[in-house]
Every structure is written in structure tokens, then in C-alpha cells.
A and B are shown apart, each in its own frame.
Chain A
């Protein structure tokens, strides 16, 4: 069984190399075949492992595979080896499964693009690095994957590199991620210094010797969390993700919604032992997650670009996942990550289908009435919207409810803020939905004339994802609704150690849980009704005139001016500093000292030359004076 593991990341890597080297000699059909096929192979192998784990006997909860000894020097030793346990298996299923669907979708979406081959090369490379990230059995391999997906994200955001705005977005994404990455690598180095190893198994077993609240573990977990903040777009490093929407829409679905941005969630879940040992860091995670969830949700309300709304929604949903992790409910975080992967990928792909049908229009003010033109997209998008809004029995309901239940048990404030964020979500999502699909079409006649439903390669993935968004929640039906929470049981070995450290979780009694559930569903319906009355009954369309907006609205519309603030506080001073170094320190200071020294020596030798007068008397005088000076100085020493 373990021998299969190596082939899982190998398949997309081979796909990448194959398409890369044969480039021009492959037709588009073959490119699609190899690219999708590679991911499909990885998916099949992952499924085999997944079901083996599911049926594995008690105690045998992981497969490992070592490819080779990687780096050994001093006390530092790390091998190139993979670990497939329930956590990584779940991630692998999402990455390869959703990844495969998005590959298929991309065949249709990108068919007429000049960069078709390049696109699938990058996409396969991304899957490879993402698998490395979740399958590595040590921090270094995770870091390699972590950086690698960042590289692919950079290449794919700037995929249409003729547009310099897109390139700005790509560069921004890479550099903001780099800031987070430094936190991560420093955390990994600190782990090595503290534990003498960077293999998960060694670190977690040694971590048991540390007391809860140990200072060094707190530092480690904070540094790792900095990495998660960058990659999962949390405050204060979130501004790259909305800009990253410059990439082709399948990329937004795959990288910037379903997989890469959830790497931070995976990483914290993987390190659950360390985080459980540091309640202080968990508090920080909760606060940052909560703030991000609310903050991004408010911005999403005022955005008019279909992808920007979804992007801020992703930031907000990722915030909710971090709230779950911060509360120590690691399974819940992973659960929401999985359902979110389904419905957010669906929403992005649906948005892509809309953009495709509307001749690349992304502004929802110019859409409307698309229900008639794009029936499949309409139905599937509705499923996605219901799922994210948390209407039972769609997937988002179960996972979001679980987060809120955990929050309620922990603190009423966390619950309230989380509930507000999720109510805002249902509002802006239905605002988006109604503006796009209901009412009259507001596009120009020419665009209207061309509106068409997408080809099968695009609609089939939409339908599959819609089914997953519909039934995906059933992997985690809570006890109160008569379920057994299959996901919880499956993942429990991964979190066993931290459950032991944390001790008994206080559970809500069933009646409270049911009341909360009913309350949130009721309020969600109210939100949907408000959105309905504004955007369907009153046929209100957001204005394009910024000046007519109220102050608060304008603040939100301009995303709280965070980008502008970063620009003024960080970017400009840095460029200024580099200019000062280059033109003042370098050219004026150092070079003048150097050239000045040269001139001084030239001048000195010219002057000293004049001493050689050729006059014997002068030489004798100089000699006598020198001897006197020597003798005097000798008698003093």
C-alpha cells in the first residue's frame, strides 16, 4: 500500500514535465488528456489510500513512505518522506478531487487562450506542490510545498502577463506570502533548535514533555501562525487575495478558494499538539480569525465585481475556519474547509461560467436576468449560494453550525461576532445572486446577443460540485440531528494527543444546540428576504457614482483604504530607502571616500616628490633631525 504513495505527487509532476518538454508538439487535446489524466491518477490512488484508512483496523492510522535521505548535516537530519494519515488523506481527496474537476472545467474555459499549454503546465505543477505540502512527513517538505504553491500562484495570477495590473497583483501576492513564509521558516528553525528534529512524529512526541503555556511553544506557534496569516489571507496580510482575482477564474477556484489558501488551516490542524499546548496563541488565532471574518464580510457587501465578492467571501470564510481552530475544534475547522472547498469552488466556477457567457464581463451591475440564458449555471450557483448561506441540508449549514456551536460554548461574544459575519455572508451572497440571475438583463445589446451557456466540459464539473455541496455536509451530521459525525471519528486519531492535553470539552446540551440552530437559520432567511426585497422587488442596482454614497458605504466600498495605507507606510518608504542607499550612500558617500583617498594619495606623492631637491646639505640636515627624533623617542619608551 505504502508503495503507491510516491506515485501520487509524481503523477502531476510528470504531467508538468511532459507538457513542458513536448510543448509545441502536443495538440490541445493531448495536453488536456495528460494534464487531467495526471490529476485523475493521483485522485484514484488517493481514494485507494483514503478508503484503506477508513477501513483500517484500530491503531493503524497512517501510511508512510520514504523516498530518500534528503539532508543530513550536523544534528540536522531530514528525509524526503511522505505521511498519509486521516488528515492528509482528507486534504489529498480535496486537492485531487476538486483539482481534477477544475482541470476538466479549464479545458473548456481556456480552450481559446494562446497560453493553453502553459496554463496546464502551471496547474499540474501546482497540484504537485500542494500534494507535497500536505503529504510531507516533516516541516521542511511542507515548506517546500508551501513555497512551491506560492510560486505557482504567482505565475497563474500573472498568467495574462501583458496586463501590468495583473502583474502587480501577482507580485503583491508573492511578496505578502513571503512575509508569512519567513514567519513559518523561522518557526520551523525554532522547532529544530527546541526539539532537535523537524519530523512531525519526533516533534509531537517530544512536545508532550512541555507544560501547557510554555513560552518557547508559544513563540513557535505564533511564528507558524504568521505563515498561516500570509497564505490564508488573514488580517493583516489579506489584501493580496482579492487582487489575486486577476488570474483566470479556474485558478481562483482551485488555488484561491479550495486548496492553497486553506494550507494555513491544514498547517495549524497538523500542529494541533503544539497549539493545544499554547492557549495564548489559540486566543490570537480566534481573535484574528474573527476579526477577518467580520471585516471581510463587510467589504464584500459593497463590491460590484463578481469575483471580488467571492474573494472577500473566501477571506471571511477562512476567518471562520481559524475561529474553529482557535477554539481547539480542529475537526470543525477541517470540516468547514472541506465543505467550503466544494461550494466555493462551485461558486467560482459558476462565476467563471457567467463571465465566459457574458463576454468577459465581471461587473454585476451589468448582469441580471441570466436565469433564462444560463440555466445550468443558474441552478448550480443557487445550490452554492444556499450552501454558503447555511440553509439546511446544504453542506455549509452543518460545518458553519458546528463552528458557531463551539463558539457559543466558548464565549457569547465570539458567537455573536461569528453569527453576524455569517449573516452578512448570506446577505451579500444573495445580493450577488439576485443581481446576477434575476430581473432584467442590463448588459449592452451586443453582449446580450452573445450570451450562451457554457460547454459540457464546464457544466459537468459544476453539476458534480453542486451535488457535493448538497450532500457534503452529511459527513459531519451532529449527534443532535441523529448523526454520528463520520468525519470526526475518521480524524480523531490525528487529534487524540491534543484532546488528551486539552481535557474534556464542554458540550452544549441538545436543546440549546437546537435553539441556536433554529435561530441562525431563521435569521439567515430574514437576510435572504431583505436581499430579495432590495434587489428583486425594488430592482435596486448599486450606483456607479461613488460620490453619492454615504461615508460608511464609501469606506467599505474602498475596502477601508487598507491598500493605500500599506502603500504609504511600507512600500513607499522602502523604495525611498533603496533610492537613498543607491544614490546617496553608495554614489556620494562611499565612492567619494574611495576616489578621495586616491586623489589624496596622488596629491601627497606629488607634494612629497618636491622634498627630493638634490641638495646634499638638505639631505644631511634631514638625516640629523631624524636621528635626533629616533633617539629621543627611544629614550621615552
Chain B
């Protein structure tokens, strides 16, 4: 029971190694291996949830000494294998396993070189779960970087015609983000002391120690009690900005988002699903877990900037989606828009806003998975993603159309689906912020609501062009027959639809998990932020 998180990470990791040992000719063995691994994870996750106590802080904590180097007068270098889950990471781990399962089903048929593919898939799985569970910055960073590698190859080898351009763009963008994060990590390492270390100076990567201002070694670069100023900002502000933009690339936030549409368009369906549903969440996760708690005063200082970027992402993403000719590209931009809401909730610094942000992360994970599978259903049949090449599919593929309606309307924020709850909470928070903590003005929330109108516009327009009218297919699709959903596709889409519906109608169980986290988060942010901030 105590090592359950380790098992969640180890199972796919071992699976990945096992895949390397199987002969490549055993093609169907690899997918079974992957499926068994994810199923085991799912069972373990159910055990995890049923033993989790809502509101009990970090649980299932595992802490083992990982690296401990005595550096003499420079103190001790200490990094731990330190895992734990709280009300934010638990839902995200659940989301990760669920989406991985869907992605596995999605990769069931027709993958070339399944040995390499499923081995990378399992490695990615371990890295994603590990990132959500790590509480040591160095450990997090290792998992974080380990996601980059399999993703690069999954896009670059199994992708579409411009896959190399897309995968290198993806790699360089995220590498830039990683470097920004790395710089701050080293700065923090130099500045933070482990209070449990007996007497001597112990440099640590423990994130929880980093969030406590009393653990900073005096006169170090990030010491909050002795502000070092570099140019226009203090060193801590710089550090926050580095982390913020580092994670914002992953989120992705306009204008750091252009890797996303290219990566999505070139990636195969299951890779797109993982990319949108999980990898984008790591960006927001990093802000919630690292950037905000460690630099609360800088986070408060820059909340208007964060909110402005959020609003720009929401509107720009939605408007660009409206102009997209490619279905997958449209969905990719809708992700940019939807993740902007997460940022807005975060910037509000209210319990409602932060709860909504986490809720929206889970909801977007489910909905983006659904949307990309929908795009994949068509692409599998025709090899064509251009919206204008389809019309009148509603009559031809009625079950598919029903799923499209659910996914599209849920993404528009229709009540009774998960997206509505998340966005409502975020708007409540953003609206309340000015009166409650003075961080951001209501007008930003009001402008952001325009995103909901644009969102309705591009989704409805896509429905009208592709599904309504008389049946006709053109372009690459012209010679294809379009049968309705097969069982495997129903097996993917139906559970996703059910989950978004349940989270939309009965959100309380999930909110009960998230809410204690959000309360602590906001209390820490406002309390520590105000103490540390020189002018608030």
C-alpha cells in the first residue's frame, strides 16, 4: 500500500523494458503488453482513490534518499526520491491513466514497428505519471525531460508528412522551456536549506521546503528576506517569470503556442490524444505546484500579466480556430483557447478560480481526447482532414454524429458536461477577484467571456460544414466509403462521453478532492505572498 505510487510508475517502465526484450516479429504481443500494463495501473489507481482521504494533504508519501553528496564546505547536495499525491495530482494521475488506456485502444491496429512504438508509449506513460507524483524538483525535472524524448520520436517517426519539421519545432520549443526551468531549479537548489538536516548546510530539491520562506539560506540569490535586484525585477521575480514562461510553453500560451498546431497536425491520433490531454496539463501543473507556491509574492505581482495572457490565449485561440481549414488544427487551437481559461482561474487567486482551473484541466483532458479521436475516426477512413472536403456526414454516420454533438457542445461549455463546471468556477473566481483580493479586474473576465461566443461559432460552423447539408466527400476523401463507428471506436468515445457527462452533472466528488487543495493553495499564495511582497 505504501509504495503504490512507485508501482504506478514502475509498471509502465518495466513494461517498456520488457517490450525491448520481445522479438519485433511478435507484433500483437506489444499492444497486449501495453494494455495489461495500463489496466494494472488502473486497478492500482482505484485502490489509491479508495484509500485516499480528501483534504488530508499529501498522501501515499514515499521519501527515500536518492542522491546525497557531501561537498565539504559547500554543504551537502541532497535529492530525494520523493513522491506523494494531493487533491490536485490525484485527479490528474487518474486522467493520465484513463487517457493512456484510451490511447492504447486507439493504437490497437495498424501501427508500424509496434515494438518501438509501444516501448516509447510505456516510457511516456511512466514519465507522465511520475511528473504528477514527484515532490522533489530534480525528480520532477527528470520525469519532465523524459516526456520530451518519447514524444519527439512518437511524432517524428509515426507522424504525417511534415513530421520532422513538427517534431523538431516541438523539441526546440520545449527544450527552451526546460532550460528556463533548469536555471531556476539550480538557483533554488543553491538557495534552499533542508531544515531537517542535522546542523550543517544541506542543499535540497524538496519542493515543499522551497515553498517555505524560512528555509532559504540568507544572502543567497533567491532569498526572499534579502532581495537581490537584477535589472527591472528582483531575482525572485525573474525566477518566477522563467518558470512561468517555461511552463507556459507547454500549456501552451499565446504567443508561445505555435509548436502545438504543427505537432498535432502531424502526430497520429493516439499521440495527439496524449499530447493534448496530458502533456499540456503538465504546463499548468508546473505553475500550480512549482511556480506559484515557491514564488507567491512574484505570482501576485504578475497576476495581471498572467490574466492578460490568459485572455489573449482564449480569444486568439478561438479566433484562429475559426479560420482553420484543417479539423485537427481547429481542435488544436481550441485547446489553446481552453487552456487559457486554466490560466485565468489561476490568475484570479481565489478558491473558486483555482478549483475551476484544476477542474478545467481534467475536463479538457477528457474532451480534447474525445475531439482528437473524432478527428482520427475521419482521418482513418479517408486520409483527409480538410473541413471543406466533407458535408452531410450526419445522415451517413449517425452514431458518430451523436458523439460529435456531445464532444463539440461539451467543449462549448454546455451545461450538463464537465467543461461548463470548470469554466463557471473560473469565471466566478475571476469576477470575484477584484473585490476579494484585488488581483485582477472584472473587465478581464468579461472580455474572456467573448471566447465562449467565438467557441460556439467555430464549433457550430464545423458541424454545419461537415455534418449538415447533402452527403458529399471531396479531395482525398472522395473515393472512401464512410461506415459508421466500429466497436473499437465506440469503446473509446462512449466512456469519454460518459465521463464528461458525469463530471458535468455530478461534479461534487471531484470538487471534494480539488477543493481542499485549492483552499490551501490560495491561503498560501495570499498569506505568504503578502508577507514577502515589499509593496502589497
Q: A residues within 8 A CB of B425?
A: 73, 76
Are A167 and B324 CB-contacts (below 8 A) given A148-B415, A174-B460? no
> Which residues 488-510 of A sit at the B interface, judged by CB distance below 8 A?
none
Q: Contact check, B428 vs A189: say whether CB atoms are below 8 A apart.
A: yes
Tell me whether A185 is interfacial, beta carbon within 8 Å: yes
Given contacts A175-B456, A579-B323, contact A186 B511 (CB under 8 A): no
Could you tell me the distance in whole angstroms from the C-beta of B377 to the nearest C-beta in chain A?
19
Chain B interface: which of A255-263, A465-473, A561-569, A586-594?
Answer: A586-594
A176 nearest in chain B by CB position: B453
* Measured CA separation A529–B36 after assembly (Å): 83
Which residue among B323, B324, B470, B515 has the maximum number of chain A CB atoms within 10 Å of its CB?
Answer: B323
Contact between B464 and A179, CB atoms less than 8 A apart: no
Does B51 count as interface, using CB distance less than 8 angstroms? no
A contact residues around B435 at 8 Å (CB): 193
Q: Give CA–CA (A598, B258) in the complex, Å.
A: 14
Is A560 an interface position by the 8 A CB rule? no
Residue interface mask A374-412, B partner, CB < 8 A = 1: 000000000000000000000000000000000000000
Instruction: Assess the B415–A74 pair: CB atoms within 8 A.
Output: no
User: Which residue of chain A has the shortest Cβ distance to B359 in the bound complex?
Assistant: A73
What is the bound-complex CA distance between A168 and B461, given in angstroms? 9
Contact among B255, B323, B352, B506 with A73 in the assembled complex (CB-CB below 8 Å) = B352
- Chain A window 550-590, contacts with chain B (Cβ cutoff 8 Å), 1 for yes, 0 for no: 00000000000000000000000011011101110110001
- How far is A574 from B421 in the complex, measured between Cα atoms in Å? 28
- Say whether B255 contacts A590, CB under 8 Å: yes
Binds A, one of B94-102, B314-322, B362-370, B485-493: B314-322
Q: Is the CB of B508 within 8 A of A71?
A: yes
CB-contact partner of A164 in B469, B514, B519, under 8 A:
B469
The size class of the interface chain B forms with chain A is: 35 or more
- Total A residues in contact with B, Cβ cutoff 8 Å: 50
- Chain A contact residues: helix, strand, loop or mixed: helix
Given contacts A167-B469, A189-B427, contact A178 B456 (CB under 8 A): yes
Q: Mark B431-450, 1 if CB is under 8 A from A, else 0.
A: 11001000000000110011
Q: Which residues of B contact A582 (CB under 8 A)?
A: 319-320, 323-324
Interface SS, B side: helix
Tell whether, in the assembled complex, residue A578 and residue B519 are in contact, meaning their CB atoms are under 8 Å apart: no
CB-based contact B469/A162 at 8 Å: yes
Bound-state CA distance A133–B469 (Å) is: 32
In the bound complex, residues from chain A placing their C-beta under 8 Å from that of B352 are 73-76
B288 CB, min distance to chain A CBs, angstroms? 16
Q: Please state if A594 and B452 are interface contacts (CB–CB under 8 Å).
A: no
* Residue of A154, A164, A582 with most chain B CB atoms under a 10 A cut-off: A582
* Residues of chain A with a CB closer than 8 A to B457's CB: 171, 175, 574
User: Are B320 and A193 in contact, CB atoms less than 8 angstroms apart?
Assistant: no
Complex contacts, B213 vs chain A, CB 8 Å: none
The answer, yes or no, to whether B392 is at the interface (CB within 8 Å) is: yes
Q: Flag if B169 contacts A594 (CB, 8 Å).
A: yes
Does B351 lie at the interface of the complex (its beta carbon under 8 Å from any beta carbon of A)?
yes
A143 contacts the other chain (CB 8 A): yes
Q: Which of B414, B508, B511 has a CB less than 8 Å from the CB of A147?
A: B414
Asked if A73 contacts B468 (CB within 8 A), the reply is: no
Q: Are A148 and B446 in contact (CB under 8 A)?
A: no
* Distance in angstroms between the alpha carbons of A74 and B468 in the assembled complex: 43
Chain A residues 140 to 196 lying within 8 A of chain B, measured CB to CB, are 140, 143-144, 147-148, 151, 154, 158, 161-164, 167-168, 170-171, 174-175, 178-179, 182, 185-186, 189-190, 192-193
Known: A76-B352, A144-B416, A164-B468. A71 touches B511 (CB 8 A): yes
Alpha-carbon distance A590/B169, docked complex (angstroms): 13
Q: Which of chain B's residues has its CB closest to A164's CB?
A: B469
> Taking the complex as formed, is B341 at the interface, i.e. its CB lies under 8 A from any CB of chain A?
no
Q: How far apart are the CA atoms of A233 and B424 in the complex, in Å?
A: 25
Given contacts A148-B416, A189-B427, A590-B258, A164 and B464 within 8 Å (CB-CB): yes
Closest CB in chain B relative to A314 CB, distance in Å: 24
Residue of A nearest to B392 (CB): A162
Enumerate A580-637 residues with CB–CB distance to B below 8 Å.
Answer: 581-583, 585-586, 590-591, 594, 598
Is A543 engaged at the interface, CB distance under 8 Å to the other chain? no
List of B residues within 8 angstroms of A581 by Cβ: 316, 319-320, 323
9 closest Cβ pairs, A-B complex: A582-B323, A74-B351, A144-B415, A161-B468, A578-B322, A578-B323, A578-B319, A74-B352, A167-B468
| 20 further contact pairs, Cβ within 8 A, besides A147-B414, A577-B319, A581-B316 | A72-B511, A73-B351, A73-B355, A73-B511, A74-B352, A75-B352, A147-B415, A151-B409, A167-B464, A167-B468, A185-B449, A186-B431, A192-B432, A193-B428, A193-B431, A193-B432, A193-B435, A574-B319, A579-B323, A581-B323
A residues within 8 Å of B by Cβ?
A: 68-76, 140, 143-144, 147-148, 151, 154, 158, 161-164, 167-168, 170-171, 174-175, 178-179, 182, 185-186, 189-190, 192-193, 574-575, 577-579, 581-583, 585-586, 590-591, 594, 598
Question: Can you offer 22 A-B residue contacts whose CB atoms are under 8 A?
Answer: A70-B506, A71-B421, A71-B507, A72-B508, A73-B355, A73-B511, A73-B518, A74-B351, A74-B518, A151-B414, A161-B395, A161-B467, A167-B464, A175-B453, A178-B452, A178-B453, A182-B452, A189-B431, A190-B431, A578-B319, A579-B323, A582-B320
